[in-house]
Chain A
């Protein structure tokens, strides 16, 4: 079965600093991978997705993620953090049938002024 692990339940960066949120996956087949963002008291919103095309995926709000098969990773990055990026971020993998998402435990990003 597919699964994802997010290293670090909390990440704190200064405004303007690089954001790096880690996600490693486990899958017996080439995975489809997703990053979602959840703002306080809101639903999850798709940031970006990897569906076996380009390994570097660009998403909304300046975020991007790189699929690295050799490292079984799909880390999320943003060159310069903004205060509005403070939220919870979830990595997810889709199952073989393509009809169900399994989520990681989430990483809470805090941005300091």
Chain B
């Protein structure tokens, strides 16, 4: 696609529920990133994929968070037993391997846990 696409744009759920957030990166970008942005803060790194494998998942806050990228393109961020503190905007970005550091971001998925 022309840009990074994220769905849903908004998700409201109840505490304890399971949530999936989807990211479709720019076509041909091998690297895919998930960041979390809480209100009034900068994006915080969660996990990074190079191809199908998670190259670095050191930012995942706990084992309720998991992400997959089975075919090296679309990725899904999965959150189990959601808590109110999980409320944030989840940003996905992709990168062309040739461009050091420069990420292209989607518009984010706003998660609200009631």
Contacts and interface: CB of A to CB of B under 8 A. Distances in A.
Given A43-B107, A43-B108, A101 B42 contact: no
A109 interface: no
B48 A99 contact: yes
A18 interface: no
B12 interface: no
B101 A101 contact: yes
Give the size category of B's interface with A. Answer: 20 to 34
Contact of B102 (A6, A46, A105): A46
Nearest to B107: A43
A80 interface: no
B62 interface: no
Interface in A31-56: 32, 34, 36, 41-46, 49, 51
Contacts of A99: 31, 48, 50, 55-56, 95, 101
Interface string B19-63: 000000000000101010000111111001010000110000000
A45 B107 CA distance: 10
B100 A32 contact: yes
B107 A42 contact: yes
Given A43-B91, A99-B48, A94 B100 contact: yes
A45 B105 contact: yes
Given A41-B107, A43-B106, 20 more contacts: A32-B101, A43-B91, A43-B107, A43-B108, A44-B43, A44-B105, A45-B105, A46-B103, A90-B43, A94-B101, A98-B101, A99-B50, A99-B95, A100-B48, A101-B103, A103-B43, A104-B42, A105-B42, A106-B40, A106-B41
